[in-house]
Amino acid sequence: MSRRIAIVTGGIGGLGTATCQHLARQNCQVIAADLPHRSKQLEVFRIHTRDLADSIDFAPLDVSDDAACQQFAEEVSSHYGHVDILANVAGITRDATLRKMQRSQWDELMRVNLDGVFNMTRAVIEGMLEHGFGRVINISSVNGQTGQFGQTNYSAAKAGVHGFTMALAREVATKGVTVNTVSPGYCKTDMVMAVPEPIRQKIIDQIPVGRLGSPDDIGRAVAFLAADDAGYLTGINLPVNGGYFMSF
Ligand code: CAA
């Protein structure tokens, strides 16, 4: 079996890096796509992925730019071969209560967290259908399932991500392409560590396993859904939250 080609957006962030590592260990050639100017983050990423450097390349990409996503998908296909796996990990927060939220905080977040999923997925889906194999994994959030104080924008986008997952899963199910969501809880990433400490501690107190998640917890879940033999799992929302939110 030839190596699977995987794109991970937000690939050099906390969850993105772990996702790249787990996919590379699962015999994928990984392209970590992320904003070009995150040089400090890129340095950290290269250190953490040094032992997998043959299997992981970095490429600059802004997922909110539709034309750039189209072009990027074409370049990846011509350079590496057709794209088998897409992990939409890129995401930002712009936390504020609705009363204080600026229009720009809503718009910026939607452009990355929701438009980004649309842009990148639409850019690769045709190739997956043509080849009769594909794995799309979208990163949502527990806060898309429960709502979070100060996150009307983020919670709306993340709930929307799973709606997108379910709709697309139905459209491509007969063609060997699966589409799934992973909904992380609060994990040890820069994004979560930026939440004011007293608020973060209150949240940790409500996590049954008693700790923040690790990026590895998420990377492992993405790799599980990306596997060749995960073909009967589609349209699901896999919660990885230490029991912070439980539902049927
Ligand atoms: N529920 C109910 N009331 C709350 C509350 C909560 N969770 N948090 C704060 N309040 C109350 C406060 O007690 C305060 O009440 P008073 O006016 O009576 O004093 C009022 O609401 C205003 O609260 P703040 O002072 O916090 O308001 P602010 O404007 O200064 O800050 C905020 C608002 C920026 C949203 C801040 O509350 C915050 O950072 N919250 C954390 C949001 C969060 O959890 N983000 C997650 C980021 S990580 C992530 O998103 C990853 C993932 O997927 C899990």
pLDDT tens per residue, range 112-129:
999 999 999 999 999 999
Of 47, 59, 49, 43, nearest in space to 10 by CA? 59
154 assigned to active site = yes
pTM, full prediction: 0.97
Q: Which amino acid is located at 19 in the chain?
A: T
Q: Whose CA is nearest to atom 20 of ligand 1?
A: 97
- Tally the domains of the chain: 1
* pLDDT tens digit sequence for 225-244: 999 999 999 999 999 999 99
Segment holding 180, helix H or strand E:
strand 177-184
Instruction: Indicate the top mutation candidate among 113, 149, 202, 205 to test ligand 1's pocket, ranked by most ligand atoms within 8 A of CB.
Output: 149
244: in domain: no
116: in domain: yes
241: in domain: no
The answer to whether 162 touches 156, Cβ cutoff 8 Å, is no
Ligand 1 binding residues, C-beta < 6 A: 93, 95-97, 100, 141-143, 148-151, 154, 184, 186, 191-192, 195-196, 199
* pLDDT tens digit sequence for 148-170: 999 999 999 999 999 999 999 99
28: in domain: yes
* pLDDT tens digit sequence for 174-213: 999 999 999 999 999 999 999 999 999 999 999 999 999 9
Catalytic one among 154, 186, 232, 244?
154
Which residue range(s) make up the domain with 15? Answer: 4-236
Q: Whose CA is nearest to atom 1 of ligand 1?
A: 149
242: in domain: no
72: in domain: yes
pLDDT at 248: 84
Residues 6+ apart with CB under 8 A from 196: none
208: in domain: yes
Of 65, 223, 90, 213, nearest in space to 157 by CA? 90
Largest CA distance in the chain: 54
CATH classification of the domain holding 92: 3.40.50.720
219 pLDDT above the threshold of 90: yes
Q: Which atom of ligand 1 is nearest to the CA of 196?
A: 39
